[in-house]
Every structure is written in structure tokens, then in C-alpha cells.
């Protein structure tokens, strides 16, 4: 769910007029709803009743210090995929000891820092990684707590670039070799076997793949519990969100009013599908959501620069580019785009909505229909809270956007727009020039 809605004809985040944020902080600017993120967290944390559930927020979705602190305050752990993410959570003042460290290419420096931080588990992707963990932990006089990421070879039915649970993907240990991997781990002196993990992909919109993966790996989890006394079974993340009609889906009532077959995947449906298999295991269940918690809780504000009328095609040129929001260019992703000032009396406009980047790929939507808008008017790219600012770049020497967080009637700048001086600060000209 989210709390972006029109009050009269003005688009609001919670009780704040988004146009006021744009006037004060300019565009492009990301805006996040604290209440939406909190509601999403609580809803997922309670979706598996009768089980010991720990939610570990996947920081790769949105690494803002303010967002990390919000989830830390709620009691979440974190799912890290780099040493930098660990340091970001620590910089936000979060307790990281209930967190896990995933990723296929953990460096020696990252492993050392994670061990020093006292993370709850390392999600191991290969036996060479296990050997590295054992070696570094031994040098530090510690034991590294591990869970192998098991690849169940389940097709998540999602975009090819974000599926991770098939045998041809680079992630994890194949299920048929998992027992051997754990037996090998048991012989390492500086390794503690603590759990088992799966993660089959992102933006999954049906329960079938989750249920299939859990059913395939649950027998292994039971064997590991009996053989090595593991503590947890991590289900990863991947619960999808609504991108199309995202503004309409803000109220939970909208979901519940639809026939069951037409509803988006909900935490309740997810929990109902996997919980029966998990209850008999007696293990702590880790959930590692990112997108579900933050995607619909954020928007990107942008300003119209020009309406260019071409031969048989209109182009609405905005001040945001794919350096600010790369998902449409990278994943062919859909984002609903709406005006901040709604006016039903205006005629419709059908146009390609594009940015200023010097590439044809800088296109957010093709032949999208919205109300007539012109130079200086404001738009909101909905569902931009996940993989928006986190994937931003300075391509075409464009400064990084600002970030704002809203709670109730107030809003604060949580990340100032980058200046050109900041962009160039770490560069120097060599002496021979």
C-alpha cells in the first residue's frame, strides 16, 4: 500500500502537497512516505502467524540513510550485498547484528568488516567463498556463521535480468549438491553452520514459484536441522508490487474489492502459501524484502521542459533522465506517470515521455496518454522508491537528485541535491597535463 493520493486536484504524499516540495527543493527529487514503508513492514512481518519471523530489509532497493534508520527503528535486520551497504546501515545508527550478508563476490575486505560487525549470517554462494570465509575468520580468531544459498531451479516467471533461482543463473549452490556443500562446511574449523537460504528472483507476482521453492528445499532444511542444528531458513525476498495503476492501488480496499484471481500478490496470500510447510520445521524464518517495502512508498518528481510535436508523434521532454531512474531503460519497466495538478477539463495528450540524456534509450514511456501538460508543469513517476536513486548515475555530468522524506504533515530533505563542485571534488588533473 501507499499514501500518495489526490486532495482535491493536488497530488499529496500523506498530508503534504508534493508541489510544495518541488517548489522548495526543485526537481528531479525523490519523495518517500515514512508511513507507507512502516505499514508495508508491519504487514509483511505479521503475514506468517505462528512462526518466528525476522524481516531483513534488502538495502540494495534503497540505501538512503533515512530509509535504513526507519527500518532499523522498527526492529528490522538488513540483507546486505556489499561492504558499503553494511557501512551505510552503521552510518545510519542501525544495529546490524541481526543482519545477513549475501552476494556472489564478497571481497576479503568486505568479509573482514562483516565479521567485525558481528552479522548474524553469511549467505554463501560457493565452496571457494566458504574457504575464504574460513581462512579470514581463522586469522581473526572467530567463527563465521554461514547458510548456503541453495538454488532450487524454480522459474519465478519474472524479467530475465532479475530472476535468480534457475540452474543457469550465477547464484547459489544447486539443490542436488547442497548436502555435499554442507558436509564440506562441517569440516572447516572456523565455520559455524547456522542456516539455509533461497532467493528465486524479484518482482514475483504469483505465489506459485514461492510455494514450489519452499516445498523443494524444506526437506533439506529439516535434514540440516537434525544433522547440524541450524537455526534459520531464509526465504529471500521477491514479493512483487503494483506498478500499473499504482496510484489507484494506494488503498488496501482497492485490492480487497477485486476478485481473488485478479488481485496483486499480497503478503497474506504469500504467507498462506508458504507457512503450512514451514511450521513443522521449528526454525526461525528470515524474509529479505526490498522492493515490497519501498517501491510504492516513493515517487520521483520531475518538471516538463518542452512539448515537442513531431511528425505523427509527440514528445514530452522532462528534466529527469535515465541517470535518475534507469528502470524503464534497463528492464523495460512500467511506471505510472501522473500530473501533480489534476485537471479533468483539459484534453488528453498522447506522447512519448522522454528525458534530456543524449540517447534514444532515455525514454520513460511510449505513446502514454495523460492530460495536456506544458512547460514548467510537474509530474510524478509513481512506484519509484525501489531501484530509483539506488541505481542513479552522473551520466552526461548530471548531478544526483535530491531525496525528501515525509511523515504526516511535515517533510525534510534527507539528501541534498549534488552540486557540480561535489561531482568534481575527487578528481584531479595529472601533473603532465
Separation CA 40–CA 44 (nearest Å): 6
Judge whether residue 260 has pLDDT over 50: no
**123: Cβ–Cβ under 8 A, 6 or more apart, which residues?**
100, 101, 102, 103, 146, 147, 148, 149, 197, 234
249 compared with 102, residue with greater pLDDT: 102
Q: Among 67-76, 249-258, 324-333, which stretch is predicted with the lowest mean pLDDT?
A: 249-258
Given a contact cutoff of 8 angstroms between Cβ atoms, the answer to whether 150 and 197 are in contact is yes
Sign of the alpha-carbon torsion through 96, 99, 104, 106: positive
Instruction: Give the C-alpha distances (Å, rounded to integers) separating 274 from 216, 269, 305, 416.
Output: 12, 9, 48, 42
Q: What pLDDT shows up at residue 263?
A: 54
Number of other residues whose CB lies within 10 A of the CB of residue 206: 16
What's the gap between Cα 281 and its chain centre? 28
Q: Among 237-246, 338-347, 407-416, which stretch is predicted with the lowest mean pLDDT?
A: 237-246
**276: Cβ–Cβ under 8 A, 6 or more apart, which residues?**
none
Question: How is residue 302 written as a grid cell?
Answer: 520531475
Judge whether residue 29 has pLDDT over 50: yes
At residue 350 the predicted structure's pLDDT band, cuts being 50, 70 and 90, is: very high
Given a contact cutoff of 8 angstroms between Cβ atoms, the answer to whether 78 and 99 are in contact is yes
For the chain, percent helix, then strand, then coil, each to nearest 5?
35, 25, 40
At residue 287 the predicted structure's pLDDT band, cuts being 50, 70 and 90, is: very high
Q: What SS3 class is residue 248?
A: helix
Q: What SS3 class is residue 393?
A: coil
pLDDT digits (tens, 9 = 90+) for 47-82: 999 999 999 999 999 999 999 999 999 999 999 999
Q: What pLDDT shows up at residue 203?
A: 87
What's the gap between Cα 233 and its chain centre? 21
**Of the candidates 325, 406, 422, 330, which has an alpha carbon nearest to the alpha carbon of residue 31?**
406
Which H or E element spans position 18?
Answer: helix 18-25
pLDDT digits (tens, 9 = 90+) for 181-209: 999 999 999 999 999 999 988 888 889 98
At residue 155 the predicted structure's pLDDT band, cuts being 50, 70 and 90, is: low
Separation CA 278–CA 218 (nearest Å): 7
Place of cell 548436502: 179
Separation CA 225–CA 234 (nearest Å): 13
Q: Please, where are the H alpha helices in 118-266?
A: 127-140, 178-185, 208-228, 252-257
Active site residues: 358
Beta-bridge partner residues of 79: 58, 100
Q: What SS3 class is residue 77?
A: strand
Q: What pLDDT shows up at residue 311?
A: 83
Judge whether residue 389 has pLDDT over 80: yes
Q: What pLDDT shows up at residue 213?
A: 93
Place of cell 573482514: 112
Q: Fill in the DSSP letter of residue 189.
A: T
Judge whether residue 248 has pLDDT over 60: no
Instruction: Give the mean pLDDT of 73-96.
Output: 98
In the chain, what are the domains? 34-290 (3.20.20.10), 296-424 (2.40.37.10)
Q: What pLDDT shows up at residue 245?
A: 78
Q: What pLDDT shows up at residue 253?
A: 42
Separation CA 334–CA 353 (nearest Å): 12
Q: Please, where are the H alpha helices in 240-385?
A: 252-257, 267-278, 291-294, 327-331
Instruction: Give the mean pLDDT of 374-381.
Output: 97
Judge whether residue 390 has pLDDT over 70: yes
Q: What pLDDT shows up at residue 261?
A: 43
Place of cell 551520466: 395
- The pTM of this model reads 0.92
Task: Kindly report the backbone phi and psi dihedral angles of residue 287, in degrees, each rounded to the nearest multiple of 5, phi listed first.
Answer: -115, 135
Q: Among 90-99, 199-208, 376-385, which stretch is predicted with the lowest mean pLDDT?
A: 199-208
Q: What percent of the chain has pLDDT over 90?
A: 84
Judge whether residue 88 has pLDDT over 80: yes
Judge whether residue 17 has pLDDT over 90: yes
Instruction: Give the mean pLDDT of 331-342.
Output: 96
Separation CA 245–CA 280 (nearest Å): 39
Instruction: Give the mean pLDDT of 404-416.
Output: 98
Mean residue pLDDT of the chain comes to: 92
Q: Please, where are the H alpha helices in 46-176?
A: 65-73, 83-91, 108-117, 127-140
**Of the candidates 7, 72, 57, 110, which has an alpha carbon nearest to the alpha carbon of residue 292?**
57
Judge whether residue 300 has pLDDT over 70: yes
At residue 265 the predicted structure's pLDDT band, cuts being 50, 70 and 90, is: confident
Amino acid at each position: 500500500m501507499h499514501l500518495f493520493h489526490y486532495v482535491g486536484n493536488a497530488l499529496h504524499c500523506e498530508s503534504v502537497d508534493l508541489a510544495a516540495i518541488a517548489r522548495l527543493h526543485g526537481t528531479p527529487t525523490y519523495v518517500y512516505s515514512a508511513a507507507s514503508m512502516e505499514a508495508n513492514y508491519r504487514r509483511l512481518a505479521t503475514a506468517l502467524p505462528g512462526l518466528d519471523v525476522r524481516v531483513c530489509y534488502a538495502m540494495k532497493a534503497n540505501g538512503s540513510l533515512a530509509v535504513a534508520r526507519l527500518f532499523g527503528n522498527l526492529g528490522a535486520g538488513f540483507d546486505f550485498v556489499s561492504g558499503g551497504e553494511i557501512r551505510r546501515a552503521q552510518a545510519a545508527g542501525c544495529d546490524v547484528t541481526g543482519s545477513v550478508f549475501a552476494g556472489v563476490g564478497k571481497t576479503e575486505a568486505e568479509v573482514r568488516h562483516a565479521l567485525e560487525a558481528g552479522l548474524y549470517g553469511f549467505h554463501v554462494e560457493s565452496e571457494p567463498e566458504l574457504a575464504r570465509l574460513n581462512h579470514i575468520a581463522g586469522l581473526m580468531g572467530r567463527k563465521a556463521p554461514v547458510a548456503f544459498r541453495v538454488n532450487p531451479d524454480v522459474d519465478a516467471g519474472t524479467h530475465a535480468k532479475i530472476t535468480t533461482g534457475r540452474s543457469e543463473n550465477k547464484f547459489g549452490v544447486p539443490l542436488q549438491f547442497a548436502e555435499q556443500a554442507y558436509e564440506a562446511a562441517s569440516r572447516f574449523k572456523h565455520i559455524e553452520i547456522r542456516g539455509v537460504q533461497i532467493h528465486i528472483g524479484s518482482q514475483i507476482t504469483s505465489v506459485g514459484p514461492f510455494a514450489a521453492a519452499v516445498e523443494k528445499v524444506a526437506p533439506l532444511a529439516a535434514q540440516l536441522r537434525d544433522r547440524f542444528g541450524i537455526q534459520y531458513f531464509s526465504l529471500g525476498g521477491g514479493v512483487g508490487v503494483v506498478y500499473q495503476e499504482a496510484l489507484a492501488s494506494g488503498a488496501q480496499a482497492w485490492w480487497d474489492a477485486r476478485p481473488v484471481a485478479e488481485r496483486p500478490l499480497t503478503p497474506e496470500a504469500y504467507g498462506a502459501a508458504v507457512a503450512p510447510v514451514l511450521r513443522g520445521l521449528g526454525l526461525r524464518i528470515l524474509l529479505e524484502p526490498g522492493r515490497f517495502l519501498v517501491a510504492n512508498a516513493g515517487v520521483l518528481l520531475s518538471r516538463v521542459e518542452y512539448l515537442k510535436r513531431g511528425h505523427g508523434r509527440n514528445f514530452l521532454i522532462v528534466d529527469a533522465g535515465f541517470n535518475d531512474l534507469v528502470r524503464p531503460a534497463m528492464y523495460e519497466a512500467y511506471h505510472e506517470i501522473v500530473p501533480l495538478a489534476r485537471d479533468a477539463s483539459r484534453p488528453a495528450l498522447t506522447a512519448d515521455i522522454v528525458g534530456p540524456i543524449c540517447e534514444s534509450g532515455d525514454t520513460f514511456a511510449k505513446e502514454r496518454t495523460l492530460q495536456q501538460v506544458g512547460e514548467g508543469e510537474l509530474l510524478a513517476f509513481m512506484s519509484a522508491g525501489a531501484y530509483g536513486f539506488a541505481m542513479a548515475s552522473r551520466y552526461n555530468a548530471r548531478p544526483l537528485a535530491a531525496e525528501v522524506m515525509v511523515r504526516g504533515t511535515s517533510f525534510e530533505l534527507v539528501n541534498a541535491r549534488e552540486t557540480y563542485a561535489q561531482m568534481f571534488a575527487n578528481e584531479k588533473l595529472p601533473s603532465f597535463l
